[in-house]
Amino acid sequence: MRQCAGVVLALGLLLAVGADAQQPAAPVPTLAWVLLPSGTRYEDVRLGKGPAVDATSHVRLLYRAWANGRLFDERMERPYEVPLGEKRLVRGLEDGLVGMRVGGRRRIYVPYYLAWGDKGLPPRIPPRADVVYDVLVAGSAPHARH
């Protein structure tokens, strides 16, 4: 157990030293991450008390996103609204949102093959980049498909 704690601490120090002073540091993985069958992992930072998100919910999200430890996207002032199940988000993020409740905050680790894959999305996301999202669900409603 001490050896695992040392590895987590070392990873945190490496991320903190390598990050720009003006951007938030990437979240450091802990031993409390839950592994989903798809390969996405998540850690609940705060459990919400509102309605639960399902695979077809219309959600309002506040988030930060890091690719290989570098902040590449952030939406913390005005929520991003998106229906789930329509492939508007990377698969791993959608997997990690299901089961959250409104008001909840979760860190979601998405392996590269459930994000932008082998090619990435240059210049912001390098090839084979794993992505970490720090997400707050600001709202959720059932999604009516037309």
The one-digit pLDDT tens for each residue of the chain (146 residues) are 444 333 333 333 333 334 444 567 766 656 688 999 999 999 999 999 999 999 999 999 999 999 999 999 999 999 999 999 999 999 999 999 999 999 999 999 999 999 999 999 999 999 999 999 999 999 999 876 54
**pLDDT, the chain, mean:** 84
Q: What is the pTM of this model?
A: 0.79
30-142 — its CATH code?
Answer: 3.10.50.40
- Counting residues of the chain whose pLDDT is more than 90, the rounded percentage is 73
Task: Tell me the sheet residues that pair with 43.
Answer: 107
Interior/surface letters 58-95, b for 16+ CB within 10 angstroms, e for the rest: bbbbbbbbbbbbbbbeeeeeebeebebeeeebbebbbb
Domains in the chain: boundaries: 30-142
